[in-house]
Amino acid sequence: DGNEMPEIESYIQENRPSKLSELFGIAKNKNVIFISMESLQSFVINNTVNGEEITPFLNDLIDESYYFNNFYHQTAQGKTSDSEFLVENSLYPLPSGAVFFTNGQNEYNATPEILKEKGYYSAVFHANNKSFWNRDVMYDNIGYDNFFDQTAFQITEENSIGWGLKDKPFFEQSIKYLQSLPQPFYTKFITLTNHYPFELGEEDASIDPYNSNSKTLNQYFPTVRYADEALKLFFDQLKQAGLYEDSIIVLMGDHYGISDFHDKAMSMYLDKEEITPYDHIQLQRVPFIVHIPGEKGKVISNIGGQIDVKPTLLSLLGVDTSDDIAFGTDLFADDRKDFVALRDGSFVSDQYIYTKEQCYDRETGELLYPLSNSVIEPDVTNSDGEENVCKPIKSAVENELAYSDKIIYGDLLRFYNQSNDNEE
């Protein structure tokens, strides 16, 4: 019956930034080109392998964009679809299963629906079967006007590898569709080539693989480079098509590509003795880049996550979201909520990182309570009798995740959207 909505609503209102960000409305009525970068993690940015730059295009792009270098993915088993769910709704995906499947027909108030009211046309571009992750159902439900799926593309043996159409022909073939869309448009492009097991033909490999005991990590670098080159081509084509100046371009890594199964090779690459639980959390960072024409941008080191994309984007577009049920906050706002909740209950706060029952200093990685095995549960205090500093944040994180789950399991936005419509 939606009895829980008032409580959740007050929680969300209490945690909203008190002021709009300075960039509110800076991209009003501009087109949006959102690019979901398959398996792209932040550790490759401004980094090298065998002495070669891995992402030369992105490294340059960052110099003329807003780049968030402490931005975390918050996905679980739903992988890419979880990242999409976070981005479109600013709700958390589920602790297990894929919300795109289990709750694809719920009532939502997603970005495409909100922007439709502002006159936007919306479309997704992704060269896979439309029903993969139940996308056709979910996209239709959240208001996408068009889904350019596998059938919209010419796919041959020559232009495919691994999961399907390679990223370069994918972007190339998308341009004509993009040009034909009504403007302003809100579009999402989902890349595919940099997907496990990171296969690439010799003709497409510009850099050599890494050399370790992990074939997966070794091959990751050339496929990341390929994706970087595909982006460069896409940007050139957007310029030629006259779409670049009227569009904000947002790039985001969807989730990790290298699992902890490859920790040994990863520690060798990162030149560390081992990958600690702290390092593991830091490896969940994915690039988040916002390019706004005419804005110089800068590197922003504040913490953030995929949950924050919807409020950030809508703020840039000048859309009032004061009634929106969203757990994220505008990344450009000043007094933001000070934690990023990962789906397994681990979190990153301004000062601390909590995972696997351990509390670390975020900046230094120092384990703060090294003597106790379980510092959070049962209640353990340090030798001075002080409460574990991660504990209150842990409760706040659990509370927030539970609110989000309640909304999804109970399909609670049915009641909220209805009562809001009545008020108007």
List residues with catalytic annotation. 80
Give the whole-angstrom CA distance, residue 218 versus residue 92: 32
Count of positions on this chain that bind Mn ion (CB under 5 A):
4
What pairs with residue 31 in β-bridges? Answer: 247
Taking CB positions, which residue lies at the least distance from Mn ion?
Answer: 80
Are 128 and 162 spatial neighbours (Cβ–Cβ below 8 Å)? no
- What, of Mn ion, ligand GP9, none, does residue 132 touch, CB below 5 to 8 Å by kind? ligand GP9
- What, of Mn ion, ligand GP9, none, does residue 99 touch, CB below 5 to 8 Å by kind? none
Smallest distance, Å, CB 38 to ligand GP9?
6
78-117 mask for Mn ion (x: CB under 5 A)? -xx-------------------------------------
137 or 376, CB closer to ligand GP9? 137
121 or 147, CB closer to ligand GP9? 147
Stretch touching Mn ion by CB under 5 A, among 34-42, 101-109, 117-125, 202-210? 34-42
Smallest distance, Å, CB 135 to Mn ion?
12
- What, of ligand GP9, Mn ion, none, does residue 128 touch, CB below 5 to 8 Å by kind? ligand GP9
Are 57 and 270 spatial neighbours (Cβ–Cβ below 8 Å)? no
79 or 394, CB closer to Mn ion? 79
Pairing of strands 185-190, 121-125: parallel
Judged by CB under 5 A, the chain residues 214 through 273 that form the site for Mn ion are: 254
Q: Is the C-alpha dihedral spanning 319, 321, 326, 329 positive or negative?
A: positive
Are 331 and 68 spatial neighbours (Cβ–Cβ below 8 Å)? yes
- What, of Mn ion, ligand GP9, none, does residue 40 touch, CB below 5 to 8 Å by kind? none
126 is in an annotated binding site: no
254 or 330, CB closer to Mn ion? 254
Smallest distance, Å, CB 25 to ligand GP9?
32
Judged by CB under 5 A, the chain residues 53 through 82 that form the site for Mn ion are: 79-80
Radius of gyration of the chain (CA): 21
195 is in an annotated binding site: yes
Helix axes of 5-14 and 413-423: crossing angle, nearest 10 degrees:
70
Smallest distance, Å, CB 133 to ligand GP9?
6
80 or 187, CB closer to Mn ion? 80
291 is in an annotated binding site: no
80 is in an annotated binding site: yes
- What, of ligand GP9, Mn ion, none, does residue 101 touch, CB below 5 to 8 Å by kind? none
- Token reading at 229: 């080159």
Smallest distance, Å, CB 80 to Mn ion?
3
Smallest distance, Å, CB 128 to ligand GP9?
4
Interacting residues with ligand GP9 (CB under 6 A): 79-80, 128, 132, 190, 192, 195
65 or 75, CB closer to ligand GP9? 75
Judged by CB under 5 A, the chain residues 136 through 175 that form the site for Mn ion are: none
- What, of ligand GP9, Mn ion, none, does residue 394 touch, CB below 5 to 8 Å by kind? none
133 or 327, CB closer to ligand GP9? 133
- What, of ligand GP9, Mn ion, none, does residue 263 touch, CB below 5 to 8 Å by kind? none
- Cβ burial of 180 (10 Å; 0-12, 13-18, 19+) is exposed
Taking CB positions, which residue lies at the least distance from ligand GP9?
Answer: 79
Smallest distance, Å, CB 232 to ligand GP9?
22
- Indicate the annotated binding residues: 38, 80, 195, 254-255
- Indicate the annotated binding residues for Mn(2+): 38, 80, 254-255
Applying CB under 5 A, which residues contact Mn ion?
38, 79-80, 254
- Indicate the annotated binding residues for substrate: 195
